[in-house]
Amino acid sequence: MLKEFTCIICPNGCGISADIEIKEGGDSLIRSIEGALCPRGEIYVKQELIDPRRNIATSVLVKGGILPLASVRLTKPIPKDRIFDAMEEIKKCCLKAPVTAGTVLVENILGYDADVIVTKSVPAGKLLK
Amino acid sequence: MKQLYDVLIIGGGVIGSAIAREMSRYRLKIGVLEKNLDVCCETSGRNSGVVHGGFAYNTDSLKAKLCVEGNKIMGQLSEELDFAFQRCGKVLVGNTPEDQESLERTMKQGKANGVSGMELIGKERLHELVPAVIGEFAMYSAESGIVDPFGYTIALAENAAENGVDYFFDNEVTAIERDADSNYVITTSAGTFYSRWVVNSAGLGCGKISELLGIGGYKIIGSKGDYIILDKRTGPLLPMPVYPVPSNTYMGIHVTNTTDGNVIVGPNADLTDNFTYYGVSQENMDYLASSASDLWPCIHKKDYIRNYSGILPKWVDENGAIQDFKIEVQDLKAPRAINLIGIESPGLTAAVPIARYAVGLMAEREKLTLNSSFNPIRKGVVRFAELSKEEQNLKILENPEYGEVICRCETVTKAEILQAIHNPLGVDTMTGIKYRTRSMMGRCQGGYCQMRIAQLLEQELGKKEDQIQYARKGSQMFFGKVRQEVES
Amino acid sequence: MNAQLKEIQVEQVDVVIIGGGPAGLAAAAELYRRGIHNLLVIEREKQLGGILRQCIHDGFGLTRFQTALSGPEYAQRFIDTIEELNIPYITDATVLEVTHERQVTAVTREGMRTWQAKAVILTMGCRERTRGAIGIPGERPTGVLTAGVAQAYMNLFNTMPAKEVVILGSGDIGMIMARRLTLEGAHVKAVFEIQPYPSGLPRNIEQCLNDYDIPLYLSHGITAIHGNTRLTGVTVSKVDENFKPIPGTEKEYKCDTLILSVGLIPENELSLDAGVILDERTRGALVDENFQTAAEGIFAAGNVLHVHDLVDFVSIEAESLADSVAKYVIEGSLKPAAISINTDCNIGYTVPQRVSGEKEFTLSLRVKRPMKDCRIVVRQAGKEVAVKKMKKAIPAEMIRFVISHEKLVSGSDLEVCVEC
């Protein structure tokens, strides 16, 4: 079975075609793969076949800071179908200024070995207006 | 305790606000009932902003008489009330012998109407006046001009308010009755008001209000005109409005410079009975551009920054013929009710003479006592962008809020936004700030400043995000916060 | 009031950089490293970083830093350098004027300030094309906003601007906002693109639309906007190859918000007043390989010059002008660029548009339509001087390649074309 993928690893967004054989038990075997400009494309396709993963970015509330929000992201992608569960966890968080970029907000979110980290420093102070 | 007004004015557009101001020269308790959240939300703010000479109207009509008067006093008004007005002149451009005849007739009518400063000019002079124009000859009207219709209406309203007039926004009149004392009881969407006199200056709603007053029979149709606004970079190419040769009933699609340096293209004139639909169709936009390009070939899509439309309330007879302004008191049907019908173009130019005419009808019926504390002077928001660098520097040193530019395209500072937020009428919409400062009117259309202005409105007036309205009631901008504290 | 304060003093600097985003900060750091220390970055916002402050998604920095960063993290790397090197900058200062003679005047809370610079670098970025600019017909309710404005509302102002959403335009910011809005509970019904191909990058179609089951309809335009207070819906039509709506294909979508991602326009209002000449195709300045504009001593880089697909290239472009600006500051002039770069009908534009032919340069360009297995060829007097082979070339992607001056001769223009 020929399957088309768009690699999301880098901005090149290679269109990758993979010939896949679905084996008994649901495992799939890649017979051939082409279209990727670099080896990361093949790794991406393999991962997509067994367990598609994505990173997300969002914000958390900051109290007493010069900005109302601090942006956050995951240190590693997590299974695609758990993104909204991760969002619910992140929504519960609230930070107190000062906040430093790189701070781990949630460790090992949903048990996937990925942390939620702050990506924007928010010094304490009056809200900038 | 119920407040009994001497006069309640229904409709706070340029006419209602001019009447409010003229009446505040007398010792009267005056209120204005406006269904929108600000003045100039309808016809008063949606037009070409041209101060007409008065040559285009039938001699002896109120339109001609009041327009000519309005043109004459516009300079003085603009000084008293601090709004933008330029007596830049205008040209009516022709090409054929028929055009020539038509312009000669227009000149003749203008002279009979008492208009000065008109002349027929040849191609050379025409191109001296407007180098980019296409045309063989023209009628030049030196006394014509342009006004900022928002600034003008707001100035009249603010001056009226400063002289004691109460403005009630979000009050749409739904019923008018008379009580045992023969006072008017006016029911609105928000409450009940009492008054000895009523003024119907409801613009597009004049027919409906007239009916509520018990004066039926006026047929009002809307004439909808669409416009395209061009970038300020086009302004230098158009020093004055350029019109085609007019027909009896319609000025034709023209190009008009604005007091802020943009160019507006339009309007077409589509008859409509829907007085709340302001949409602009693709066909009309294309038609405006191609039609006006025959006069002024500088219309390019890359310079479009916005389109809008306006509707003129025209009073027509049973044959559909457009009638003159009607300004009346029908003492038997509705005593002490000043009824203004079909106030369309040139209503903007004629607003103050219309108001004086209306006050005259009142003065014929009861003695008016001058209000000795009336102050005709009103100051608007200082325009930082119009100051010299040295003046700008001084302004910032006086008040550092002038040192923060909120609207980049039009160089509007935080100090100006704050003054507009705390305006004398208590208007609290985004367009209220826009019309008072020009913020969000530039080429990025608020892309940079809108969010900052919304935030300032929230802070200064203690509002929540979901209470910020853009223009009309129901035009909420936001659905709350992205993140708020959660109970854990 | 202090009488002296009333006079606006003219301050002397070597270089003024207008805009403290990814282009301006990168240029500042590189200039500083080349010994130009008397420079000043002027930023209108209260913090440095430019538009990246609101681009909280990741995917930045893969080229420049070999690691995936969010926008704020990417900006912070440059801000940290600025702070470490002690490079002078002011925030909360809006430049009102740049003259042809390189005098720069800005509004600040301390008063008006004017600098006389030996060189000016324009790094003001771009603005979004609006509804008015593309002339979408219909009513004018609130709820029609550009993707960048929606992004700022959500990511900077903590304000939710939408619930039921339709997006017009498949630009990258529009797709990124489709995902962002979905994550925050809004319902994005569809993305419509008037072109027969997407205008954003394939990876964003995949990870922002496909992942969230948001359909993308190509060759579709919005033909009416409904609602006289808040938006109530839009009418969408299929369009033909001339972008004219096809009658009978109209479909109504109920929504409270229409997000526009219909293009970016380099922000060149200041540049025009300084005498900079713009390229009609990029709407940015015409420049030579030194990034010098038609106004001598005024340089431009980043999105103010041409709209980039990736911020990495914005910074790299800005860094690459440092040598030339430093040379200009020291020597007072640069070699004239007499060789024009012309393009065929498949190329949207090139930057630079002129070169001297005496030094190596990077040619940036975009193709006008998607193409497969093609060669981008640069010729001079019929002779190939550079070739780049492309498996696929799409308008969404900026193509860059280095052209050596060794094969170039003087007196003849360069021709760039695509061969399939």
Domain of residue B440, CATH code: 1.10.10
Mean pLDDT of B167-189: 97
Number of A:C CB contacts under 8 A?
81
Whether B321 is in a domain gets the answer no
The answer to whether B437 touches B407, Cβ cutoff 8 Å, is: yes
**pLDDT, tens digit, for every residue of C49-77?**
999 999 999 999 999 999 999 999 999 99
Give the nearest chain B residue to A59 (CA atoms): B483
Q: What pLDDT is stored for residue B448 in this prediction?
A: 85
The answer to whether C288 touches C352, Cβ cutoff 8 Å, is: yes
Tell me which of A31 and B12 has the higher pLDDT. B12
Q: Do B455 and A94 touch (CB under 8 A)?
A: no
DSSP B345-395: TTHHHHHHHHHHHHHHHHHTTS---B-TT----------GGGS-HHHHHHH
- Backbone phi and psi for residue B66, each to the nearest 5 degrees, phi listed first: -75, -30
Query: Do B432 and B283 sit in the same domain of this protein?
Result: no
**pLDDT, tens digit, for every residue of C365-391?**
999 999 999 999 999 999 999 999 998
Enumerate residues 182 to 211 of chain B having a beta carbon within 8 A of any beta carbon in chain C.
Answer: none
The CATH fold assigned to C336-420 is: Immunoglobulin-like (2.60.40)
Q: What pLDDT is stored for residue C2 in this prediction?
A: 47
Q: Do C183 and A59 touch (CB under 8 A)?
A: no
Residue whose pair of structure tokens reads 């009631």 in the numeric block? B473
Q: What pLDDT is stored for residue B2 in this prediction?
A: 83
Looking only at the bridges linking them, the beta strands covering B4-10 and B192-200 are parallel
Q: What pLDDT is stored for residue C4 in this prediction?
A: 46
Q: How many CB atoms lie within 10 A of CB C60?
A: 26
The answer to whether B133 touches B292, Cβ cutoff 8 Å, is: no
Angle of CA points A69, C209, C226, to nearest 5°: 85
Whether B352 is in a domain gets the answer no
Where are chain C's structural domains? Answer: 9-128+263-334, 130-262, 336-420
Q: Do C158 and B482 touch (CB under 8 A)?
A: yes
ipTM score of complex: 0.95
Q: Do B389 and C229 touch (CB under 8 A)?
A: no
Query: Do B308 and B398 sit in the same domain of this protein?
Result: no
Alpha-carbon distance B451 to C53, whole Å? Answer: 15
Q: Does residue B5 register a pLDDT over 90?
A: yes
Q: What pLDDT is stored for residue C124 in this prediction?
A: 98
What are the residues whose beta carbons fall under 8 Å from the beta carbon of C248, sequence distance 6 or more? none
Query: Do B302 and B404 sit in the same domain of this protein?
Result: no
Give the nearest chain B residue to C127 (CA atoms): B444
The answer to whether C316 touches C64, Cβ cutoff 8 Å, is: yes
Enumerate residues 430 to 469 of chain B having a beta carbon within 8 A of any beta carbon in chain A.
Answer: 455-456, 459
Q: List, in sequence order, every residue forming a beta bridge with C24; answer none if it has no partner.
A: none
Would an 8 Å CB–CB cutoff place A75 in contact with chain C?
A: no
Residue B427: domain span: 384-467
CATH 3.10.530.10 fits A57-118, yes or no: yes
Query: How far off is chain A from C8, nearest CA to CA, in Å?
Result: 27
Kindly list the residues from chain B whose CB atom is less than 8 angstroms away from the CB atom of residue A94: 485-486
Would an 8 Å CB–CB cutoff place C158 in contact with chain A?
A: yes
Of B455, B485, B488, the CB nearest to A129: B455
Looking only at the bridges linking them, the beta strands covering B412-413 and C103-108 are unpaired
Alpha-carbon distance B390 to B400, whole Å? Answer: 15
Q: What pLDDT is stored for residue A26 in this prediction?
A: 74
**Position C19: which residue type?**
G
Whether B418 is in a domain gets the answer yes
Q: What pLDDT is stored for residue B250 in this prediction?
A: 72
- Of C213, C206, C397, the closest CA to residue A16 belongs to C206
What is the number of structural domains in chain B? 2
**pLDDT, tens digit, for every residue of C202-239?**
999 999 999 999 999 999 999 999 999 999 999 999 99
Alpha-carbon distance C267 to C281, whole Å? Answer: 14
Rg of chain C over all Cα atoms, to the nearest angstrom: 23
Would an 8 Å CB–CB cutoff place B405 in contact with chain C?
A: yes
Q: What pLDDT is stored for residue B487 in this prediction?
A: 63
The pLDDT-based confidence of A128 (bands split at 50, 70, 90) is confident
Buried b / exposed e over C249-268, threshold 16 CB at 10 Å, is: eeeebebbbbbbbbbbbbbb
Alpha-carbon distance B403 to A98, whole Å? Answer: 28
Query: Do B264 and B409 sit in the same domain of this protein?
Result: no
The answer to whether B200 touches B338, Cβ cutoff 8 Å, is: yes
Alpha-carbon distance B282 to B290, whole Å? Answer: 12
Share the mean pLDDT of chain C.
95
C9-128+263-334 with C336-420: one CATH topology? no
Bond into C22 cis (ω within 30): no
How is chain C split among helix, strand and coil, in percent rounded to 5?
25, 35, 40
pTM above 0.90, yes or no: yes
Whether B156 is in a domain gets the answer no
Whether B178 is in a domain gets the answer no
Q: Do C135 and B411 touch (CB under 8 A)?
A: no
Alpha-carbon distance A95 to A86, whole Å? Answer: 17
Q: Any idea how long chain A is? A: 129
**pLDDT, tens digit, for every residue of B413-469?**
999 999 999 999 999 999 999 999 999 998 888 888 999 999 999 999 999 999 999
Alpha-carbon distance C142 to B474, whole Å? Answer: 9
The burial class, CB within 10 Å (0-12 / 13-18 / 19+), for C213 is exposed
**pLDDT, tens digit, for every residue of A17-33?**
999 888 877 777 888 89
Q: What pLDDT is stored for residue A28 in this prediction?
A: 79
Would an 8 Å CB–CB cutoff place C278 in contact with chain B?
A: no
**pLDDT, tens digit, for every residue of B320-344?**
999 999 999 999 999 999 999 999 9
Alpha-carbon distance C300 to B115, whole Å? Answer: 54
Mean pLDDT of A35-42: 91
Q: Any idea how long chain C is? A: 420
**pLDDT, tens digit, for every residue of B282-300?**
999 999 999 999 999 999 9
Q: Which chains touch A (3 or more CB pairs under 8 A)?
A: B, C
Alpha-carbon distance C102 to C119, whole Å? Answer: 7
Q: CA dihedral in degrees (A51, A54, A55, A56; nearest 10)? A: -130
Number of B:C CB contacts under 8 A?
157
Best of B288, B307, B410, B466 to mutate (most C CBs within 10 Å, chain C): B307
DSSP B24-51: TTBS--EEEE-SSSSSSSSTTTSS--EE
Of A68, A91, A129, the CB nearest to B486: A91
Best of A120, A127, A129 to mutate (most C CBs within 10 Å, chain C): A120
Looking at B52, B127, B254, B300, which residue is catalytic? B52
**pLDDT, tens digit, for every residue of C16-27?**
999 999 999 999
Task: Map residue C1 onto helix, strand or coil.
Answer: coil
Residue B52 annotated among the catalytic residues of the structure: yes
CA C365 to chain centre: 13
Query: How far off is chain B from C85, nearest CA to CA, in Å?
Result: 28
The pLDDT-based confidence of C161 (bands split at 50, 70, 90) is very high
Task: Map residue B133 onto helix, strand or coil.
Answer: coil
Q: What pLDDT is stored for residue C102 in this prediction?
A: 98
CATH code, domain with B271: 3.30.9.10
Residue B294 in tokens: 């025959």
Looking at the domain that runs over C130-262, which CATH code has it been given? 3.50.50.60
Kindly list the residues from chain B whose CB atom is less than 8 angstroms away from the CB atom of residue C160: 465, 478-482
Q: Do C202 and A13 touch (CB under 8 A)?
A: yes
Alpha-carbon distance C317 to C27, whole Å? Answer: 9
Would an 8 Å CB–CB cutoff place C141 in contact with chain A?
A: no
Residue B109 in tokens: 């009518």
Query: How far off is chain B from C1, nearest CA to CA, in Å?
Result: 8
Would an 8 Å CB–CB cutoff place C109 in contact with chain B?
A: yes
Angle of CA points B224, B229, B233, to nearest 5°: 160
The answer to whether A13 touches C202, Cβ cutoff 8 Å, is: yes
Angle of CA points C402, C405, C411, to nearest 5°: 125
Superfamily of structural domain C9-128+263-334: FAD/NAD(P)-binding domain (3.50.50.60)
Would an 8 Å CB–CB cutoff place B372 in contact with chain C?
A: no
Query: Do B293 and B424 sit in the same domain of this protein?
Result: no
Alpha-carbon distance B309 to B225, whole Å? Answer: 5
Sign of CA dihedral B433, B437, B441, B447: negative
Q: What pLDDT is stored for residue C1 in this prediction?
A: 43
DSSP B148-209: -HHHHHHHHHHHHHHTTPEEE-S--EEEEEE-TTS-EEEEESS-EEEEEEEEE--GGGHHHH
**Position C85: which residue type?**
L
Q: Do B305 and C139 touch (CB under 8 A)?
A: no
DSSP B399-446: -GGGGSEEETTTTEEHHHHHHHHT-TT---SHHHHHHHH-TT-STTTT
Q: Do B488 and A61 touch (CB under 8 A)?
A: no
Q: Does residue C3 register a pLDDT over 50?
A: no
Q: What pLDDT is stored for residue B227 in this prediction?
A: 96
Q: Do A59 and C158 touch (CB under 8 A)?
A: yes
Of B283, B315, B347, the one marking the end of a domain is B315
End-to-end CA distance of chain C: 71
DSSP C51: G
Share of chain B above pLDDT 70, in %: 99
Q: How many CB atoms lie within 10 A of CB B298?
A: 17
- Of B450, B447, B421, the closest CA to residue B436 belongs to B421
Query: How far off is chain C from A58, nearest CA to CA, in Å?
Result: 7
**pLDDT, tens digit, for every residue of B75-97?**
999 999 999 999 999 999 999 99
Query: Do B404 and B290 sit in the same domain of this protein?
Result: no
Query: Do B138 and B224 sit in the same domain of this protein?
Result: yes
End-to-end CA distance of chain A: 57
Query: How far off is chain C from B29, nearest CA to CA, in Å?
Result: 33
Q: Does residue C350 register a pLDDT over 70?
A: yes
Q: What pLDDT is stored for residue C6 in this prediction?
A: 65
Task: Map residue C306 onto helix, strand or coil.
Answer: coil
The burial class, CB within 10 Å (0-12 / 13-18 / 19+), for C214 is buried
Element (H, E) at C355: strand C354-355
